[in-house]
Structure 1
Protein backbone atom coordinates (compact mmCIF):
# COMPACT_ATOMS: atom_id res chain seq x y z
CA UNK A 1 0.00 0.00 0.00
CA UNK A 2 1.12 3.53 -0.77
CA UNK A 3 0.95 5.42 2.56
CA UNK A 4 -0.10 8.98 1.81
CA UNK A 5 -2.39 9.32 4.84
CA UNK A 6 -0.15 9.72 7.91
CA UNK A 7 2.27 12.55 7.02
CA UNK A 8 5.21 10.20 7.43
CA UNK A 9 8.49 10.66 5.59
CA UNK A 10 8.79 8.50 2.47
CA UNK A 11 12.52 8.17 3.11
CA UNK A 12 14.25 5.96 5.71
CA UNK A 13 16.11 7.28 8.76
CA UNK A 14 19.69 8.40 8.25
CA UNK A 15 22.43 5.78 8.52
CA UNK A 16 23.87 7.73 11.44
CA UNK A 17 20.57 7.45 13.29
CA UNK A 18 20.46 3.68 12.74
CA UNK A 19 24.08 3.37 13.87
CA UNK A 20 23.29 5.21 17.10
CA UNK A 21 20.31 2.95 17.78
CA UNK A 22 22.61 -0.06 17.43
CA UNK A 23 25.31 1.60 19.53
CA UNK A 24 23.01 2.18 22.50
CA UNK A 25 20.80 -0.93 22.20
CA UNK A 26 23.01 -2.87 24.62
CA UNK A 27 22.00 -0.38 27.33
CA UNK A 28 18.30 -1.23 27.16
CA UNK A 29 18.58 -2.89 30.56
CA UNK A 30 18.77 0.63 32.00
CA UNK A 31 15.99 3.17 32.51
CA UNK A 32 18.17 6.20 31.91
CA UNK A 33 21.64 7.04 30.59
CA UNK A 34 22.58 10.52 31.77
CA UNK A 35 25.42 10.99 29.28
CA UNK A 36 23.09 10.20 26.36
CA UNK A 37 20.45 12.59 27.68
CA UNK A 38 23.02 15.37 28.14
CA UNK A 39 24.45 14.86 24.64
CA UNK A 40 20.94 14.93 23.20
CA UNK A 41 20.07 18.18 24.97
CA UNK A 42 23.33 19.68 23.74
CA UNK A 43 22.58 18.71 20.12
CA UNK A 44 19.01 20.00 20.36
CA UNK A 45 20.31 23.26 21.79
CA UNK A 46 22.75 23.63 18.90
CA UNK A 47 20.11 22.71 16.31
CA UNK A 48 17.38 24.95 17.73
CA UNK A 49 19.74 27.83 18.40
CA UNK A 50 18.70 28.26 22.02
CA UNK A 51 20.14 27.40 25.44
CA UNK A 52 19.38 23.85 26.54
CA UNK A 53 17.76 25.13 29.74
CA UNK A 54 14.78 26.01 27.53
CA UNK A 55 14.47 22.45 26.12
CA UNK A 56 12.83 19.25 27.37
CA UNK A 57 12.37 15.92 25.57
CA UNK A 58 9.35 13.63 25.34
CA UNK A 59 8.31 10.31 23.80
CA UNK A 60 6.75 11.98 20.76
CA UNK A 61 4.35 14.91 20.53
CA UNK A 62 1.37 12.91 21.80
CA UNK A 63 2.47 12.99 25.47
CA UNK A 64 3.05 16.73 25.12
CA UNK A 65 -0.51 17.23 23.89
CA UNK A 66 -1.82 15.06 26.73
CA UNK A 67 0.10 17.15 29.27
CA UNK A 68 -1.20 20.35 27.65
CA UNK A 69 -4.77 19.10 28.03
CA UNK A 70 -4.16 18.03 31.63
CA UNK A 71 -2.68 21.45 32.34
CA UNK A 72 -5.71 23.20 30.80
CA UNK A 73 -8.00 20.96 32.87
CA UNK A 74 -6.36 21.39 36.27
CA UNK A 75 -5.93 25.15 35.85
CA UNK A 76 -9.55 25.41 34.66
CA UNK A 77 -8.30 27.66 31.88
CA UNK A 78 -10.25 26.28 28.96
CA UNK A 79 -8.70 25.66 25.56
CA UNK A 80 -8.78 27.72 22.37
CA UNK A 81 -8.15 25.92 19.06
CA UNK A 82 -8.64 26.68 15.40
CA UNK A 83 -11.19 24.90 13.23
CA UNK A 84 -10.19 22.92 11.33
CA UNK A 85 -7.31 21.58 13.38
CA UNK A 86 -5.52 18.24 13.80
CA UNK A 87 -8.41 15.76 13.73
CA UNK A 88 -7.25 13.88 16.85
CA UNK A 89 -7.75 17.01 18.96
CA UNK A 90 -11.55 16.97 18.61
CA UNK A 91 -11.87 13.66 20.44
CA UNK A 92 -9.18 14.53 22.96
CA UNK A 93 -10.86 17.71 24.19
CA UNK A 94 -14.11 15.76 24.57
CA UNK A 95 -12.42 12.86 26.39
CA UNK A 96 -10.68 15.25 28.80
CA UNK A 97 -13.97 17.14 29.34
CA UNK A 98 -12.22 20.46 28.82
CA UNK A 99 -14.04 23.72 28.21
CA UNK A 100 -13.03 24.74 24.73
CA UNK A 101 -13.84 27.03 21.83
CA UNK A 102 -12.77 27.25 18.22
CA UNK A 103 -11.58 30.15 16.11
CA UNK A 104 -12.97 29.41 12.67
CA UNK A 105 -10.55 29.67 9.76
CA UNK A 106 -11.77 31.40 6.61
CA UNK A 107 -13.77 29.02 4.41
CA UNK A 108 -12.19 30.63 1.35
CA UNK A 109 -8.47 30.27 2.04
CA UNK A 110 -8.22 28.93 5.63
CA UNK A 111 -6.60 32.10 6.97
CA UNK A 112 -6.77 32.87 10.68
CA UNK A 113 -8.88 35.72 12.06
CA UNK A 114 -6.11 37.35 14.12
CA UNK A 115 -8.40 39.85 15.86
CA UNK A 116 -10.75 37.08 16.92
CA UNK A 117 -7.86 34.97 18.25
CA UNK A 118 -6.55 37.84 20.36
CA UNK A 119 -10.06 38.61 21.61
CA UNK A 120 -10.89 35.08 22.81
CA UNK A 121 -7.44 34.21 24.19
CA UNK A 122 -7.95 36.06 27.50
CA UNK A 123 -7.10 33.69 30.37
CA UNK A 124 -7.19 30.58 28.18
CA UNK A 125 -4.72 27.97 26.98
CA UNK A 126 -4.24 28.52 23.23
CA UNK A 127 -3.15 25.73 20.88
CA UNK A 128 -2.08 26.57 17.32
CA UNK A 129 -0.48 24.31 14.72
CA UNK A 130 1.71 26.49 12.54
CA UNK A 131 1.69 25.57 9.64
CA UNK A 132 -1.73 24.09 10.23
CA UNK A 133 -2.80 20.46 9.95
CA UNK A 134 -4.84 19.57 7.90
CA UNK A 135 -4.88 22.77 5.81
CA UNK A 136 -1.07 22.94 5.30
CA UNK A 137 -0.88 26.75 5.39
CA UNK A 138 0.80 29.26 7.70
CA UNK A 139 -1.68 30.66 10.24
CA UNK A 140 0.57 33.09 12.05
CA UNK A 141 3.71 34.79 10.79
CA UNK A 142 4.09 38.03 12.74
CA UNK A 143 5.73 37.63 16.18
CA UNK A 144 4.06 40.87 17.30
CA UNK A 145 0.67 39.15 16.95
CA UNK A 146 1.82 36.21 19.07
CA UNK A 147 3.09 38.66 21.70
CA UNK A 148 -0.41 40.15 21.93
CA UNK A 149 -1.88 36.67 22.36
CA UNK A 150 0.74 35.70 24.96
CA UNK A 151 0.01 38.84 27.02
CA UNK A 152 -3.67 37.85 27.28
CA UNK A 153 -3.59 34.05 27.34
CA UNK A 154 -2.87 31.72 30.24
CA UNK A 155 -0.41 29.81 28.05
CA UNK A 156 0.22 29.56 24.30
CA UNK A 157 1.27 26.27 22.73
CA UNK A 158 2.60 26.57 19.17
CA UNK A 159 2.95 23.21 17.43
CA UNK A 160 5.84 23.50 14.97
CA UNK A 161 5.72 19.91 13.75
CA UNK A 162 6.44 21.13 10.21
CA UNK A 163 9.08 23.71 11.12
CA UNK A 164 11.73 22.21 8.83
CA UNK A 165 9.39 22.67 5.86
CA UNK A 166 8.15 26.15 6.75
CA UNK A 167 11.35 27.68 8.15
CA UNK A 168 9.12 29.67 10.50
CA UNK A 169 9.54 29.57 14.28
CA UNK A 170 8.56 31.60 17.32
CA UNK A 171 11.11 29.92 19.61
CA UNK A 172 12.87 33.17 20.52
CA UNK A 173 9.71 34.42 22.25
CA UNK A 174 10.20 31.89 25.07
CA UNK A 175 13.00 34.10 26.38
CA UNK A 176 10.59 37.03 26.62
CA UNK A 177 7.34 35.30 27.61
CA UNK A 178 7.38 32.48 30.15
CA UNK A 179 3.95 31.25 29.01
CA UNK A 180 4.91 30.34 25.42
CA UNK A 181 5.59 26.68 24.60
CA UNK A 182 6.96 25.52 21.25
CA UNK A 183 6.28 21.87 20.33
CA UNK A 184 8.52 20.06 17.85
CA UNK A 185 9.05 16.54 16.53
CA UNK A 186 11.58 14.47 14.58
CA UNK A 187 8.82 12.43 12.93
CA UNK A 188 8.60 14.36 9.65
CA UNK A 189 11.84 15.91 8.42
CA UNK A 190 14.11 13.49 10.30
CA UNK A 191 12.22 10.36 9.12
CA UNK A 192 11.74 9.05 12.66
CA UNK A 193 7.96 8.78 13.13
CA UNK A 194 8.30 5.26 14.56
CA UNK A 195 10.91 6.35 17.11
CA UNK A 196 8.33 8.59 18.86
CA UNK A 197 10.46 11.56 19.88
CA UNK A 198 9.37 15.13 20.46
CA UNK A 199 10.62 18.11 22.40
CA UNK A 200 9.47 21.45 23.71
CA UNK A 201 11.15 24.84 23.83
CA UNK A 202 9.85 26.93 26.71
CA UNK A 203 10.78 28.89 29.83
CA UNK A 204 12.31 27.16 32.84
CA UNK A 205 9.17 28.07 34.78
CA UNK A 206 6.85 26.38 32.26
CA UNK A 207 9.21 23.43 31.93
CA UNK A 208 8.92 22.79 35.66
CA UNK A 209 5.11 22.98 35.54
CA UNK A 210 4.78 20.62 32.57
CA UNK A 211 7.37 18.16 33.91
CA UNK A 212 5.35 17.88 37.13
CA UNK A 213 2.50 16.40 35.07
CA UNK A 214 4.49 13.58 33.44
CA UNK A 215 5.90 10.19 34.34
CA UNK A 216 9.69 10.02 34.61
CA UNK A 217 12.03 8.19 32.22
CA UNK A 218 9.36 7.93 29.53
CA UNK A 219 11.70 8.40 26.54
CA UNK A 220 13.31 5.06 25.62
CA UNK A 221 17.09 4.93 25.34
CA UNK A 222 16.94 3.82 21.70
CA UNK A 223 14.56 6.68 20.91
CA UNK A 224 17.01 9.18 22.38
CA UNK A 225 19.81 7.49 20.45
CA UNK A 226 17.87 7.67 17.18
CA UNK A 227 17.21 11.38 17.68
CA UNK A 228 20.83 12.07 18.62
CA UNK A 229 22.09 10.29 15.50
CA UNK A 230 19.62 12.18 13.31
CA UNK A 231 20.66 15.53 14.75
CA UNK A 232 24.30 14.68 14.07
CA UNK A 233 23.51 14.08 10.40
CA UNK A 234 21.82 17.39 9.46
CA UNK A 235 22.78 17.13 5.79
CA UNK A 236 20.64 14.03 5.38
CA UNK A 237 17.63 15.78 6.92
CA UNK A 238 18.11 18.81 4.68
CA UNK A 239 18.34 16.55 1.63
CA UNK A 240 15.10 14.80 2.59
CA UNK A 241 13.30 18.11 3.14
CA UNK A 242 14.57 19.47 -0.17
CA UNK A 243 13.36 16.39 -2.04
CA UNK A 244 9.93 16.52 -0.42
CA UNK A 245 9.48 20.23 -1.13
CA UNK A 246 10.53 19.79 -4.76
CA UNK A 247 8.12 16.88 -5.19
CA UNK A 248 5.34 18.76 -3.38
CA UNK A 249 5.59 21.74 -5.71
CA UNK A 250 5.55 19.50 -8.78
CA UNK A 251 2.45 17.67 -7.57
CA UNK A 252 0.73 20.94 -6.69
CA UNK A 253 1.34 22.31 -10.19
CA UNK A 254 0.08 19.12 -11.85
CA UNK A 255 -3.12 19.16 -9.79
CA UNK A 256 -3.77 22.87 -10.33
CA UNK A 257 -3.17 22.41 -14.07
CA UNK A 258 -5.84 19.70 -13.94
CA UNK A 259 -8.30 22.17 -12.42
CA UNK A 260 -8.05 20.93 -8.82
CA UNK A 261 -7.88 23.44 -5.96
CA UNK A 262 -4.75 23.07 -3.81
CA UNK A 263 -3.93 25.18 -0.75
CA UNK A 264 -0.46 26.77 -0.60
CA UNK A 265 1.53 24.30 1.51
CA UNK A 266 4.43 24.87 3.90
CA UNK A 267 4.41 21.26 5.12
CA UNK A 268 5.13 17.73 3.88
CA UNK A 269 1.55 17.29 2.65
CA UNK A 270 -1.03 18.88 0.38
CA UNK A 271 -4.60 19.92 1.15
CA UNK A 272 -6.71 19.26 -1.94
CA UNK A 273 -10.30 20.31 -2.58
CA UNK A 274 -12.12 18.28 -5.24
CA UNK A 275 -15.22 20.45 -5.03
CA UNK A 276 -17.40 17.39 -4.38
CA UNK A 277 -17.62 14.71 -1.64
CA UNK A 278 -14.32 12.82 -1.53
CA UNK A 279 -15.27 9.47 0.06
CA UNK A 280 -16.09 7.80 -3.26
CA UNK A 281 -12.69 8.82 -4.67
CA UNK A 282 -10.93 7.88 -1.43
CA UNK A 283 -12.40 4.38 -1.68
CA UNK A 284 -11.36 4.00 -5.33
CA UNK A 285 -7.83 5.17 -4.55
CA UNK A 286 -7.69 2.70 -1.66
CA UNK A 287 -8.72 -0.12 -4.02
CA UNK A 288 -5.76 0.88 -6.17
CA UNK A 289 -3.49 0.62 -3.12
CA UNK A 290 -3.24 4.34 -2.35
CA UNK A 291 -4.11 5.51 1.17
CA UNK A 292 -5.10 9.15 1.70
CA UNK A 293 -7.00 11.10 4.37
CA UNK A 294 -10.52 12.06 3.28
CA UNK A 295 -12.10 14.61 5.62
CA UNK A 296 -15.58 13.33 4.81
CA UNK A 297 -14.65 10.25 6.88
CA UNK A 298 -13.96 12.34 10.00
CA UNK A 299 -17.11 13.24 11.93
CA UNK A 300 -15.97 16.68 13.11
CA UNK A 301 -14.58 17.62 9.70
CA UNK A 302 -17.45 16.53 7.45
CA UNK A 303 -18.11 20.15 6.45
CA UNK A 304 -14.79 19.91 4.59
CA UNK A 305 -15.90 16.63 3.01
CA UNK A 306 -14.68 17.58 -0.46
CA UNK A 307 -11.09 17.76 0.81
CA UNK A 308 -8.20 15.30 0.90
CA UNK A 309 -5.02 15.57 2.94
CA UNK A 310 -2.28 13.87 0.96
CA UNK A 311 1.24 13.21 2.26
CA UNK A 312 4.04 13.94 -0.20
CA UNK A 313 5.79 10.69 -1.09
CA UNK A 314 8.64 9.95 -3.46
CA UNK A 315 8.34 11.31 -7.01
CA UNK A 316 7.36 7.95 -8.51
CA UNK A 317 4.72 7.47 -5.81
CA UNK A 318 3.21 10.88 -6.41
CA UNK A 319 3.20 10.33 -10.18
CA UNK A 320 1.13 7.20 -9.55
CA UNK A 321 -1.20 9.12 -7.22
CA UNK A 322 -1.76 11.87 -9.80
CA UNK A 323 -2.33 9.34 -12.58
CA UNK A 324 -4.86 7.31 -10.57
CA UNK A 325 -6.69 10.36 -9.18
CA UNK A 326 -7.13 11.95 -12.60
CA UNK A 327 -8.27 8.64 -14.07
CA UNK A 328 -10.87 8.25 -11.32
CA UNK A 329 -12.11 11.83 -11.64
CA UNK A 330 -12.53 11.49 -15.40
CA UNK A 331 -14.29 8.11 -15.31
Structure 2
Protein backbone atom coordinates (compact mmCIF):
# COMPACT_ATOMS: atom_id res chain seq x y z
CA UNK A 1 0.00 0.00 0.00
CA UNK A 2 2.99 2.35 -0.37
CA UNK A 3 1.45 3.85 -3.49
CA UNK A 4 -1.38 5.33 -1.34
CA UNK A 5 -0.68 8.56 0.55
CA UNK A 6 -0.78 7.94 4.31
CA UNK A 7 1.53 10.71 5.64
CA UNK A 8 4.18 8.05 6.24
CA UNK A 9 2.11 6.22 8.88
CA UNK A 10 1.04 2.59 9.02
CA UNK A 11 -2.61 1.51 9.17
CA UNK A 12 -2.86 1.53 13.00
CA UNK A 13 -0.08 3.95 13.93
CA UNK A 14 -2.36 7.00 14.17
CA UNK A 15 -4.87 5.30 16.47
CA UNK A 16 -2.15 3.79 18.66
CA UNK A 17 -0.39 7.13 19.08
CA UNK A 18 -3.67 8.80 20.08
CA UNK A 19 -4.38 6.05 22.61
CA UNK A 20 -0.89 6.34 24.06
CA UNK A 21 -1.30 10.10 24.46
CA UNK A 22 -4.71 10.05 26.17
CA UNK A 23 -3.74 7.21 28.54
CA UNK A 24 -1.71 9.80 30.45
CA UNK A 25 -4.90 11.78 31.17
CA UNK A 26 -7.93 9.44 31.28
CA UNK A 27 -8.63 5.93 32.52
CA UNK A 28 -11.57 3.58 32.96
CA UNK A 29 -11.88 4.66 36.62
CA UNK A 30 -12.86 8.26 35.72
CA UNK A 31 -16.44 9.39 36.06
CA UNK A 32 -18.14 11.22 33.21
CA UNK A 33 -17.26 14.67 34.59
CA UNK A 34 -13.66 13.67 35.35
CA UNK A 35 -13.32 12.28 31.82
CA UNK A 36 -14.49 15.57 30.29
CA UNK A 37 -12.09 17.62 32.42
CA UNK A 38 -9.10 15.36 31.75
CA UNK A 39 -9.88 15.14 28.02
CA UNK A 40 -9.97 18.93 27.70
CA UNK A 41 -6.72 19.14 29.65
CA UNK A 42 -5.08 16.75 27.22
CA UNK A 43 -6.29 18.74 24.21
CA UNK A 44 -4.95 21.97 25.73
CA UNK A 45 -1.59 20.30 26.27
CA UNK A 46 -1.59 19.11 22.65
CA UNK A 47 -2.37 22.62 21.35
CA UNK A 48 0.36 24.06 23.56
CA UNK A 49 2.92 21.68 22.07
CA UNK A 50 1.76 22.68 18.59
CA UNK A 51 2.30 26.36 19.40
CA UNK A 52 5.82 25.57 20.61
CA UNK A 53 6.60 23.78 17.33
CA UNK A 54 5.19 26.73 15.32
CA UNK A 55 7.38 29.12 17.29
CA UNK A 56 10.47 27.02 16.53
CA UNK A 57 9.62 26.87 12.82
CA UNK A 58 9.28 30.64 12.57
CA UNK A 59 12.11 31.90 14.79
CA UNK A 60 14.85 29.24 14.78
CA UNK A 61 17.08 28.24 11.89
CA UNK A 62 17.98 24.58 11.27
CA UNK A 63 21.49 23.18 10.88
CA UNK A 64 22.77 22.69 7.33
CA UNK A 65 24.74 19.68 6.02
CA UNK A 66 25.04 20.31 2.30
CA UNK A 67 26.28 23.69 0.98
CA UNK A 68 23.78 23.81 -1.88
CA UNK A 69 20.88 26.09 -2.73
CA UNK A 70 18.29 23.31 -2.58
CA UNK A 71 18.84 22.75 1.13
CA UNK A 72 18.57 26.47 1.86
CA UNK A 73 15.40 26.61 -0.24
CA UNK A 74 13.67 23.79 1.64
CA UNK A 75 14.70 25.13 5.05
CA UNK A 76 12.61 28.22 4.29
CA UNK A 77 9.64 26.21 2.97
CA UNK A 78 9.36 23.00 5.02
CA UNK A 79 8.58 22.76 8.72
CA UNK A 80 11.44 21.72 10.98
CA UNK A 81 10.36 18.07 11.24
CA UNK A 82 10.01 17.45 7.52
CA UNK A 83 13.02 19.57 6.63
CA UNK A 84 15.25 17.16 8.56
CA UNK A 85 13.61 14.24 6.73
CA UNK A 86 14.37 15.95 3.42
CA UNK A 87 17.91 16.73 4.58
CA UNK A 88 18.61 13.06 5.31
CA UNK A 89 17.38 12.05 1.87
CA UNK A 90 19.41 14.78 0.19
CA UNK A 91 22.57 13.80 2.10
CA UNK A 92 22.20 10.13 1.11
CA UNK A 93 21.53 10.99 -2.54
CA UNK A 94 25.25 11.67 -3.14
CA UNK A 95 26.03 7.97 -2.49
CA UNK A 96 24.11 6.67 -5.52
CA UNK A 97 25.03 6.07 -9.13
CA UNK A 98 22.58 6.30 -12.03
CA UNK A 99 22.54 4.29 -15.24
CA UNK A 100 20.17 4.85 -18.16
CA UNK A 101 18.47 1.61 -19.15
CA UNK A 102 16.02 2.78 -21.83
CA UNK A 103 14.79 6.04 -23.29
CA UNK A 104 12.24 7.14 -25.84
CA UNK A 105 10.28 10.26 -26.73
CA UNK A 106 7.91 10.00 -23.74
CA UNK A 107 9.73 8.16 -20.95
CA UNK A 108 13.17 7.46 -19.61
CA UNK A 109 14.09 4.56 -17.33
CA UNK A 110 17.13 4.66 -15.05
CA UNK A 111 18.73 2.20 -12.64
CA UNK A 112 19.94 3.58 -9.32
CA UNK A 113 22.52 1.69 -7.23
CA UNK A 114 24.47 2.59 -4.13
CA UNK A 115 28.23 3.09 -4.58
CA UNK A 116 29.35 1.07 -1.56
CA UNK A 117 26.86 -1.75 -2.32
CA UNK A 118 27.27 -2.61 -5.98
CA UNK A 119 25.60 -6.00 -5.61
CA UNK A 120 22.82 -4.62 -3.42
CA UNK A 121 19.21 -3.90 -4.22
CA UNK A 122 18.72 -1.52 -7.13
CA UNK A 123 15.93 1.00 -7.60
CA UNK A 124 14.31 2.03 -10.86
CA UNK A 125 13.32 5.60 -11.75
CA UNK A 126 10.66 6.30 -14.36
CA UNK A 127 10.81 9.83 -15.77
CA UNK A 128 7.73 11.06 -17.64
CA UNK A 129 8.83 13.77 -20.06
CA UNK A 130 5.31 15.05 -20.77
CA UNK A 131 4.58 15.62 -17.07
CA UNK A 132 8.19 16.47 -16.15
CA UNK A 133 7.92 14.15 -13.16
CA UNK A 134 10.17 11.33 -11.91
CA UNK A 135 8.86 8.45 -9.79
CA UNK A 136 10.82 5.78 -7.96
CA UNK A 137 9.99 2.17 -7.14
CA UNK A 138 10.59 2.79 -3.40
CA UNK A 139 7.30 4.77 -3.36
CA UNK A 140 8.46 7.16 -0.62
CA UNK A 141 7.03 10.21 -2.35
CA UNK A 142 3.70 8.46 -2.97
CA UNK A 143 3.27 7.39 0.70
CA UNK A 144 4.82 10.36 2.56
CA UNK A 145 5.06 13.07 -0.14
CA UNK A 146 8.77 13.60 0.60
CA UNK A 147 11.25 13.25 -2.33
CA UNK A 148 13.36 10.12 -1.94
CA UNK A 149 17.15 9.98 -2.24
CA UNK A 150 16.96 8.26 -5.61
CA UNK A 151 14.86 10.99 -7.24
CA UNK A 152 17.02 13.71 -5.67
CA UNK A 153 20.12 12.03 -7.11
CA UNK A 154 18.46 12.06 -10.52
CA UNK A 155 17.47 15.74 -10.25
CA UNK A 156 20.81 17.22 -9.20
CA UNK A 157 23.01 14.85 -11.30
CA UNK A 158 21.12 14.41 -14.55
CA UNK A 159 19.08 17.63 -14.68
CA UNK A 160 21.57 19.58 -12.54
CA UNK A 161 18.81 21.41 -10.67
CA UNK A 162 19.76 23.59 -7.74
CA UNK A 163 16.19 24.13 -6.56
CA UNK A 164 13.47 21.57 -5.99
CA UNK A 165 10.56 21.88 -8.48
CA UNK A 166 7.12 22.70 -7.16
CA UNK A 167 5.60 19.35 -8.18
CA UNK A 168 7.79 17.64 -5.55
CA UNK A 169 6.70 19.97 -2.71
CA UNK A 170 3.55 19.15 -0.78
CA UNK A 171 1.87 22.18 0.78
CA UNK A 172 0.81 20.03 3.74
CA UNK A 173 4.41 20.04 5.09
CA UNK A 174 5.12 23.74 4.48
CA UNK A 175 5.18 26.50 7.08
CA UNK A 176 2.50 28.46 5.23
CA UNK A 177 -0.03 25.60 5.28
CA UNK A 178 -1.95 27.17 8.20
CA UNK A 179 -2.14 30.58 6.55
CA UNK A 180 -4.05 29.39 3.50
CA UNK A 181 -7.79 29.25 2.98
CA UNK A 182 -9.59 26.67 5.12
CA UNK A 183 -12.73 25.10 3.69
CA UNK A 184 -15.56 23.35 5.54
CA UNK A 185 -17.38 20.16 4.47
CA UNK A 186 -19.74 22.07 2.17
CA UNK A 187 -16.84 23.83 0.41
CA UNK A 188 -17.37 27.24 2.06
CA UNK A 189 -14.42 29.29 3.22
CA UNK A 190 -13.94 29.54 6.98
CA UNK A 191 -12.91 33.05 8.01
CA UNK A 192 -11.75 34.23 11.42
CA UNK A 193 -12.10 37.82 12.60
CA UNK A 194 -8.74 38.55 14.25
CA UNK A 195 -9.91 41.87 15.71
CA UNK A 196 -12.81 40.06 17.41
CA UNK A 197 -10.42 37.49 18.89
CA UNK A 198 -8.10 40.21 20.17
CA UNK A 199 -11.02 42.05 21.77
CA UNK A 200 -12.27 38.87 23.39
CA UNK A 201 -8.82 38.09 24.78
CA UNK A 202 -8.51 41.58 26.29
CA UNK A 203 -11.94 41.40 27.95
CA UNK A 204 -11.27 37.91 29.25
CA UNK A 205 -7.94 39.06 30.74
CA UNK A 206 -9.59 41.94 32.58
CA UNK A 207 -12.39 39.70 33.81
CA UNK A 208 -9.91 37.13 35.15
CA UNK A 209 -7.86 39.85 36.86
CA UNK A 210 -10.93 41.09 38.78
CA UNK A 211 -11.90 37.55 39.81
CA UNK A 212 -8.42 36.84 41.18
CA UNK A 213 -8.61 39.97 43.36
CA UNK A 214 -12.13 39.56 44.77
CA UNK A 215 -12.18 35.80 45.30
CA UNK A 216 -10.49 36.07 48.73
CA UNK A 217 -13.13 38.42 50.16
CA UNK A 218 -16.74 37.37 50.72
CA UNK A 219 -18.08 40.95 50.58
CA UNK A 220 -16.16 41.72 47.41
CA UNK A 221 -17.32 38.45 45.80
CA UNK A 222 -20.97 39.20 46.64
CA UNK A 223 -20.67 42.74 45.26
CA UNK A 224 -19.02 41.40 42.10
CA UNK A 225 -21.83 38.88 41.51
CA UNK A 226 -24.53 41.52 42.00
CA UNK A 227 -22.72 43.91 39.67
CA UNK A 228 -22.33 41.26 36.99
CA UNK A 229 -26.02 40.27 37.18
CA UNK A 230 -27.12 43.89 36.75
CA UNK A 231 -24.58 44.39 33.96
CA UNK A 232 -25.88 41.35 32.06
CA UNK A 233 -29.43 42.74 32.21
CA UNK A 234 -28.22 46.07 30.79
CA UNK A 235 -26.24 44.40 27.99
CA UNK A 236 -29.09 42.16 26.74
CA UNK A 237 -30.90 44.94 24.78
CA UNK A 238 -27.63 45.90 23.08
CA UNK A 239 -27.10 42.32 21.89
CA UNK A 240 -30.54 41.98 20.32
CA UNK A 241 -29.21 42.98 16.87
CA UNK A 242 -25.86 41.19 17.10
CA UNK A 243 -27.13 37.64 16.46
CA UNK A 244 -26.54 38.02 12.74
CA UNK A 245 -22.81 38.49 13.41
CA UNK A 246 -22.54 35.06 15.00
CA UNK A 247 -22.66 36.26 18.64
CA UNK A 248 -25.00 34.21 20.79
CA UNK A 249 -27.21 36.05 23.34
CA UNK A 250 -26.52 35.68 27.02
CA UNK A 251 -28.39 32.97 28.87
CA UNK A 252 -31.20 33.82 31.25
CA UNK A 253 -29.33 32.08 34.03
CA UNK A 254 -26.51 33.78 35.88
CA UNK A 255 -22.99 33.06 34.73
CA UNK A 256 -22.06 32.02 38.28
CA UNK A 257 -24.71 29.30 38.48
CA UNK A 258 -23.19 25.86 38.82
CA UNK A 259 -24.12 23.05 36.48
CA UNK A 260 -24.87 19.59 37.80
CA UNK A 261 -24.12 16.36 35.99
CA UNK A 262 -25.72 13.01 36.57
CA UNK A 263 -23.98 9.72 36.05
CA UNK A 264 -25.69 7.56 33.39
CA UNK A 265 -27.74 4.61 34.58
CA UNK A 266 -25.91 1.31 34.74
CA UNK A 267 -27.08 -1.07 32.03
CA UNK A 268 -26.45 -4.79 32.23
CA UNK A 269 -25.31 -5.97 28.81
CA UNK A 270 -25.28 -9.46 27.39
CA UNK A 271 -22.18 -11.42 28.30
CA UNK A 272 -21.29 -9.12 31.16
CA UNK A 273 -19.40 -10.70 34.07
CA UNK A 274 -20.97 -10.87 37.51
CA UNK A 275 -20.15 -8.18 40.02
CA UNK A 276 -17.31 -9.08 42.38
CA UNK A 277 -18.61 -9.28 45.95
CA UNK A 278 -16.74 -7.85 48.89
CA UNK A 279 -15.63 -9.76 51.98
CA UNK A 280 -18.65 -8.84 54.08
CA UNK A 281 -21.03 -9.75 51.27
CA UNK A 282 -19.37 -13.13 50.88
CA UNK A 283 -19.66 -14.00 54.58
CA UNK A 284 -23.22 -12.69 54.86
CA UNK A 285 -25.76 -15.46 54.34
CA UNK A 286 -23.15 -17.94 53.18
CA UNK A 287 -21.68 -20.81 55.16
CA UNK A 288 -17.97 -21.34 55.43
CA UNK A 289 -16.83 -24.19 53.25
CA UNK A 290 -14.12 -25.28 55.71
CA UNK A 291 -16.58 -26.25 58.51
CA UNK A 292 -20.19 -27.10 59.30
CA UNK A 293 -23.10 -25.10 60.61
CA UNK A 294 -24.26 -25.90 64.15
CA UNK A 295 -27.99 -25.54 64.73
CA UNK A 296 -27.41 -25.58 68.48
CA UNK A 297 -25.24 -22.47 68.88
CA UNK A 298 -26.02 -21.06 65.41
CA UNK A 299 -22.36 -20.60 64.40
CA UNK A 300 -20.65 -21.41 61.07
CA UNK A 301 -17.30 -23.07 60.51
CA UNK A 302 -17.58 -25.39 63.52
CA UNK A 303 -16.31 -28.95 63.93
CA UNK A 304 -19.38 -30.05 65.88
CA UNK A 305 -23.12 -30.23 65.31
CA UNK A 306 -26.24 -30.05 67.51
CA UNK A 307 -25.67 -33.51 68.98
CA UNK A 308 -22.32 -32.67 70.57
CA UNK A 309 -22.56 -28.87 70.79
CA UNK A 310 -20.62 -27.66 73.88
CA UNK A 311 -23.16 -24.93 74.52
CA UNK A 312 -25.99 -27.45 74.77
CA UNK A 313 -23.87 -29.83 76.81
CA UNK A 314 -23.20 -27.13 79.37
CA UNK A 315 -26.93 -26.70 79.88
CA UNK A 316 -27.62 -30.39 80.44
CA UNK A 317 -25.98 -30.85 83.93
CA UNK A 318 -27.86 -27.88 85.38
CA UNK A 319 -31.11 -29.29 84.08
CA UNK A 320 -30.35 -32.70 85.64
CA UNK A 321 -29.49 -31.10 88.97
CA UNK A 322 -32.75 -29.17 89.05
CA UNK A 323 -34.68 -32.33 88.30
CA UNK A 324 -32.88 -34.25 91.02
CA UNK A 325 -33.36 -31.49 93.60
CA UNK A 326 -37.05 -31.18 92.77
CA UNK A 327 -37.42 -34.99 93.05
CA UNK A 328 -35.67 -35.19 96.42
CA UNK A 329 -37.84 -32.41 97.82
CA UNK A 330 -40.94 -34.23 96.78
CA UNK A 331 -39.80 -37.44 98.45
CA UNK A 332 -38.89 -35.62 101.65
CA UNK A 333 -42.28 -33.99 101.75
CA UNK A 334 -43.95 -37.30 101.29
CA UNK A 335 -41.80 -38.88 103.97
CA UNK A 336 -42.48 -36.05 106.36
CA UNK A 337 -46.18 -36.45 105.82
CA UNK A 338 -45.88 -40.17 106.45
CA UNK A 339 -44.01 -39.46 109.63
Q: Same fold (TM over 0.5)?
A: no
TM class by smaller structure: under 0.3
Instruction: Name the TM-score, length of structure 1 as normaliser.
Output: 0.21
Instruction: Name the TM-score, length of structure 2 as normaliser.
Output: 0.21
- Between 1 and 2, higher relative CO (CA 8 Å, sep ≥ 6) is seen in 1
Structure with bigger gyration radius? 2
